[in-house]
Structure formats: structure tokens, C-alpha cells
Amino acid sequence: MIFTFSCDATSQAFGVNASLRVDYAHMTPERNAQNDERSQKGEGAESNASQNSTSNSISEKTSAVPAQNQKQSRDSQPSLLAYTVMALGLALFIRFFVAAPYVVSGSSMEPTFLDWHYLIIDKVIYDISSPVRGDVIVLNLPQDAGRSLIKRIIGLPGETVKISGSIVTITNSEYPKGLVLKEPYIDPKNASNGDSVEVNLGSDEYFVLGDNRHVSADSRIWGKLPKKDIVGRVDARLFPFNAISVLPGTVRY
């Protein structure tokens, strides 16, 4: 009996307690799991809400970017138009009032300038300084303003120019006995042999000649050149490329 009781007691003691312990042991994790599950669901909901909020924020910012770009594009259009107009106006101002391109046609300035030589003319230089002997210029023919010629300045205002054969002599206050010009730019086969000319120049009058004296129509034929008919000085030659130069053909005596 004692053994049976003892076994029953032990069985009751350990069985119930064991059952309770087992029940307790299983209940605690179950409750924790439910709590964890609810916590995870709550965190998941918060995370989803946060993600949705971030997504909405990014979406709003993304949708705002094209609108800003469109606004900037609309704002930049007037500026681009203004810059284009300014650049075009500056180019036209330079073209008509400062510098102009000319293409040589004819043989009157050979061998210094040939057909198709592309030149840039300075149109304002003689507004701030006087033409100099030896300058190569473009002029409007006094008898026909629509015709442009390229020549070399030989005689200056107040001087006397005398041509005898191929020799050119300048008489002025500095050279009262006369200055015979040395003209290295003339090819001997282009030199004049039979000319006999003497011209007195008034104020603002110039005497011009072509380097090819055999064929040039210049002051020997049509007379003195008024300053107002000078278009400008040849400041640059841009073509041909192997002859690019600044102040091409200019000499000083």
C-alpha cells in the first residue's frame, strides 16, 4: 500500500506538476508567439505605411521634376532668342561697319594678289588714322561707285607724283628734290615703260596704282582718288591657305 501510495503520490505529484509544467512551458511561448505575431503585423503595417509614404513622397517629387524642367525650358527660350538676336546684330554691325570680305578678280595686282584671293578689309582704320603710302586698299571707282577696285597708295595729299617710264618720283616738303620709289612688289615683266604722268594732289586726294602696271586701270587713267571713295585697308588674306597673312602686300618706303 505504501508503495502504491508512494507511486500514486509520486505520480500525482510529478504527473500533475509535470502536466502543469508542460502546459505552462507550452503556453508561454504560444502567448509570446501571438504577441510577436501581432508585433510583427504592427511593424509590418508601419513599415508598409512608411514605404507607402516614402513612395508617395518620391512620386510627388518625381512628378514635380518634369514640371520644373518644363518651366526652366520655357524660361530659357527667351534668353536663347535674345542671345541669337544679339549675336546676329553684332555680326551684321561688324560686316557692314567694321570689316568686310572681298574676293580678288582680275590681274591688276599681280603678282601680289591673284584671282580668288580672299581678303578682309578694315573699314574703320582711316576714320582714326590717315592712309599711308604703300597701303593696299579697296576703293570705289569715283566715276562708278558700284565698282570696287584694289590698288596701292602711291601719292599722298599735297604731294606731286611724277611717272617717267617705270620710275615713280614723289615730291613733297620732306623730299623737295624728289623721292624715287623702290617697288620690289613689281615683276619686271609687268613694269610700265612708256608712261609720262605728273599730278599735283590736293587735300584729301590720293594717287593709286596697280602692281601690274601693264594692265591696271588706276590714277594714271581715271585721275585722283578722293578719300571719301576709299572703302578700307586690306588687313588680312585668308585664302589660299598657304598665303594666309596680316597686312598682305603692305610696304614702307
Q: Which residues are catalytic?
A: 108, 151
CB 150 within 8 A of CB 102: yes
Strands (E), the chain: 99-103, 118-122, 136-141, 144-155, 160-164, 167-171, 179-180, 196-200, 205-209, 225-226, 230-239, 245-246
Say how far apart CA 14 and CA 126 lie, in whole Å.
127
Angstrom distances, CA of residue 27 to CA of 13, 20, 38, 176, 191: 20, 10, 16, 134, 128
**Residue whose entry in the numeric block shows the C-alpha cell 588714322:** 129
The DSSP 8-state label assigned to residue 241 in this structure reads G
Cell representation of residue 121: 578689309
Q: Which residues contact 41 (CB under 8 A, 6 or more apart)?
A: none
